[in-house]
């Protein structure tokens, strides 16, 4: 990654963003607001490291250029949210809403993630290298979510489009009120949610799982031995005959 430049970045200074080296922002002496402003000021192709995060919330949010950001430690809520084009790497666990409303780019958590990982992500890829808690992929709108371990209850609740790969087991109510998103589970499915069903695996599914596992860096998922879960499409429109299912 080249020589490491350690600096406290002044967001009003343009020349620090011109360096080809990795720039370091220290949250022990900078506020979250200033760090985010500094990251957003970096040009495409820049590399940055955020040190001493100590579980701060809202880190690396709203990035819109193709930069690489490493957060050297655990992050709090909404890390990497509202982003486009950037690659954000969290060296530890993350709190609620990692990659929330992601448009493109990648957010990778090298640990566990709390509730609602990749919530409403329209594009891009969110990778959780550990387990993910409740409602992972809630209201997914086209993005991709890959979890190496287990996911909690209500994974893909109200997910409208996109793909979710679970490398471990899935909790109860998987795919509850699912629309057109597709879920692949390598382990056990503890229970399906309303209007979710298991479907036959096709060659296209195997190719999709293989590609997603490769992008996520998972080598423990057999693309030909996963469970495909999708919508039965019976709840797209309210039907009084189905009122008990809503």
CB under 8 A, 24+ apart: contacts of 26-32: 26/51, 26/52, 27/51, 27/52, 27/53, 27/54, 27/56, 28/52, 32/56, 32/57, 32/58, 32/59
- Rounded to 5 degrees, φ, ψ at 72 are -85, 70
Instruction: Indicate whether 110 and 187 sit together in one domain.
Output: no
What pLDDT, on the 0 to 100 scale, is given for residue 242?
61
- How far is the C-alpha of 14 from the C-alpha of 46, rounded, in Å? 13
The answer to whether residues 89 and 67 touch, using CB atoms and an 8 Å cutoff, is: no
Does 199 lie in the same domain as 96?
no
Confidence band, pLDDT 50/70/90 cuts, at residue 8: very low
Residues 102 and 161 reside in one and the same domain:
no
Residue-averaged pLDDT of the chain: 91
Q: Model confidence over 60-89: pLDDT tens digits?
A: 999 999 999 999 999 999 999 999 999 999
Both 73 and 174 in a single domain? no
Looking at the domain assignment, is residue 29 inside a domain?
A: yes
Q: Is residue 134 part of a domain?
A: no
Residue 178 domain flag: yes
97-124, pLDDT tens digit by residue?
Answer: 999 999 999 999 999 999 999 999 999 9
Range of the domain at 174: 141-148+157-246
| Number of domains comprising the chain | 2
Q: Residue 243: its pLDDT value, please? A: 60
Q: What is the pLDDT of residues 29-64, one digit of tens each?
A: 999 999 999 999 999 999 999 999 999 999 999 999
Find, among 168, 172, 15, the residue nearest to 156 by Cα: 172
What pLDDT score was predicted for residue 210? 98
Instruction: Tell whether 121 is covered by a domain.
Output: no
Q: Is residue 129 part of a domain?
A: no
R_g of the chain computed on alpha carbons: 19
In this structure, the answer to whether residues 161 and 215 fall within a common structural domain is yes
| CA separation for the pair 153, 131 (Å, rounded) | 12
């Amino acid at each position: 990654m080249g020589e490491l430049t350690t600096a406290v970045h002044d967001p009003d200074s343009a020349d620090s963003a011109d360096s080809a080296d990795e720039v370091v922002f220290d949250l022990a002496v900078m506020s979250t607001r200033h760090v985010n402003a500094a990251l957003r000021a970096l040009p495409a192709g820049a590399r940055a490291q955020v040190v001493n995060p100590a579980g701060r919330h809202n880190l690396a949010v709203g990035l819109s250029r193709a930069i690489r950001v490493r957060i050297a430690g655990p992050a709090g809520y909404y890390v990497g949210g509202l982003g486009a084009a950037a690659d954000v790497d969290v060296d530890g666990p993350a709190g609620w809403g990692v990659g929330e409303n992601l448009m493109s780019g990648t957010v990778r958590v090298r640990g566990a993630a709390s509730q609602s990982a990749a919530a409403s992500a329209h594009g891009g890829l969110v990778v959780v290298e550990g387990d993910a808690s409740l409602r992972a992929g809630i209201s997914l709108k086209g993005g991709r979510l890959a979890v190496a371990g287990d996911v909690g209850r209500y994974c893909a609740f109200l997910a409208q489009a996109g793909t979710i790969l679970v490398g471990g087991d899935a909790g109860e109510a998987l795919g509850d009120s699912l629309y057109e998103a597709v879920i692949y589970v390598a382990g056990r499915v503890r229970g399906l949610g309303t209007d979710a069903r298991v479907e036959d695996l096709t060659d296209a599914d195997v190719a999709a799982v293989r590609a997603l596992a490769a992008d996520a860096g998972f080598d423990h998922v057999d693309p030909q031995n996963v469970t495909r879960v999708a919508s039965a499409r019976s709840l797209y429109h309210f039907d009084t005959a189905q009122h008990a299912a809503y």
